[in-house]
Amino acid sequence: MRESQSLPATIETWLVEPMTPDVRKAIDRLARAPSVTRIAVMPDVHLAPGACVGTVAATRSALYPGAVGGDIGCGIATIALGGDLPRHRPTLEAVLADLRGAVPIKRHASVDHAPVLPPDIGTLRDPCCAGDIARTGRVELGTLGRGNHFLELQVDADERAWLMVHSGSRSMGQRIRAAHEAGATRTFATLRMLDAESREGQSYLHDAAWAVRYARANRHAMLTSAAQVIHDRLGLIADWSTLVDVHHNHVREEEHFGERLYIHRKGAAPASHGAPGLIPGHMGGESLHVVGRGEPESLRSSSHGAGRRLARSDARRKVDKRELERLHASCVFDARPAHALREEAPSAYKPLDAVMRAQRRLVKTARRVRAVLCYKGI
């Protein structure tokens, strides 16, 4: 470790509304953690274990797995589809049924039914995690996961169809975080810390980068399976030249303000000047294709979505089922688990337009798309 932290980090914010006391306290703790020099708080910020979702933390020599989270490499990918999209509801419901078979929520039935891991994905250094690749890494590749992960069929203003998927490294990322935090140093900020120059720190960086590649391969496997379903049912053809894939949970070395820093993004997307990005709103609503503006004070980052306004427990208690019924009238999704779906209802999230106004210096909107079908795991 090259230096100690004597003063809190610089904090820059782009907010829709004032931070709650719990979020403010968590941000302040992170700002006083060793080696943290800058923090950028995105408009979708909300409370989460370790570090808040919607934060970017820059360090000079320390690594904080909790400031990345367990779903390392989680991100969003999209491709355009060629052809006319039918709007006949029974047809879309048949597509949804086919997607349930083609893209499992949790895992494939066996290794024999799972996609093959890409040959360039590499290996893991941590022996506890390396042994999981052959089994867990295979059966979870091409699977969606639960929570706010989704696969959507969307249309833009020109009626062009798009597929979008939000998912990450599944349980592999969680295992990598747990394994590397086990030997890390606990700080007063309740985060566990690794020295980036140490063997342990370098091993974490190596394995976290592996998880990013695995998460990307997971999204691409799902897009491939979903595109086949769409082709078989609707005759639409995936245009892979339009692929955009952006991950929002990672740590990597970047140059900012004239020095090399370790940038931890948790629920925050890179937004370098001219870089394409994707920002979804609530389930079954609008999502945005954006272009980064490269704002230095945000550590060239933006929000990764609209961000939760209600905690999951609060949403299950407060959201009226009629809100989901109205949403179901405009977007096809499986409404049977209605109680659990309340967590993902529109009112559980911040308004997307307000989020975009708050970060107008960070990204600009290039395209709006609207969901006509949403496949979720609850």
Tell me the per-residue pLDDT of 32-43, one tens digit each, with 9 for 90 and over.
999 999 999 999
> For position 4, what pLDDT does the model report?
41
Q: Which of 256, 273, 304, 339 is catalytic?
A: 304
Task: Using CB atoms within 10 Å of the CB of residue 123, give its burial: 0 to 12 exposed, 13 to 18 middle, 19+ buried.
Answer: exposed
2-6, 30-34, 235-239, 257-261: the lowest-pLDDT one: 2-6
**Mean pLDDT within 110-120:** 89
How do residues 28-82 score in pLDDT, each as one tens digit? 999 999 999 999 999 999 999 889 999 999 999 999 999 999 999 999 999 999 9
Work out the pLDDT band at 3, boundaries 50, 70, 90.
Answer: very low
How do residues 210-219 score in pLDDT, each as one tens digit? 999 999 999 9
- Tokens coding 285: 């609503």
How do residues 272-284 score in pLDDT, each as one tens digit? 999 999 999 998 8
The single-letter code of the amino acid at 55 is T
| Whole-angstrom distance, CA of residue 291 vs CA of residue 312 | 30
**Mean pLDDT within 214-237:** 97
Residue 84 pLDDT exceeds 50: yes
Ordered by start, the domain boundaries in the chain are 10-376
> For position 62, what pLDDT does the model report?
97
How do residues 326-354 score in pLDDT, each as one tens digit? 888 889 999 877 777 888 888 999 999 99
The pTM of the full predicted model, rounded to 2 decimals, is 0.95
Residues 6+ apart with CB under 8 A from 260: 253, 254
> For position 313, what pLDDT does the model report?
87
The helix (H) or strand (E) run that includes residue 229 is helix 199-234
| Whole-angstrom distance, CA of residue 206 vs CA of residue 72 | 12
Q: Report the mean per-residue pLDDT for the chain.
A: 93
> For position 7, what pLDDT does the model report?
59
Residues 6+ apart with CB under 8 A from 50: 64, 65, 66, 67, 69, 190, 191, 266
65-79, 145-159, 308-322, 348-362: the lowest-pLDDT one: 308-322
> For position 1, what pLDDT does the model report?
37
Task: Using CB atoms within 10 Å of the CB of residue 134, give its burial: 0 to 12 exposed, 13 to 18 middle, 19+ buried.
Answer: exposed
The answer to whether the beta carbons of residues 59 and 265 sit under 8 Å apart is: no
| Whole-angstrom distance, CA of residue 103 vs CA of residue 375 | 10
Give CATH for domain 10-376: 3.90.1860.10
The answer to whether the beta carbons of residues 58 and 210 sit under 8 Å apart is: no
Task: Give yes or no: 304 in active site.
Answer: yes
Q: How far is CA 151 from CA 46, 221, 236, 260, in A?
A: 23, 12, 16, 36
Angle at 250 (CA atoms; ends 117, 359), nearest 5 degrees: 130
SS3 state at 104: coil
| Whole-angstrom distance, CA of residue 26 vs CA of residue 166 | 26
> For position 339, what pLDDT does the model report?
74
- Tokens coding 233: 């049912």
> For position 190, what pLDDT does the model report?
78
| Whole-angstrom distance, CA of residue 211 vs CA of residue 121 | 9
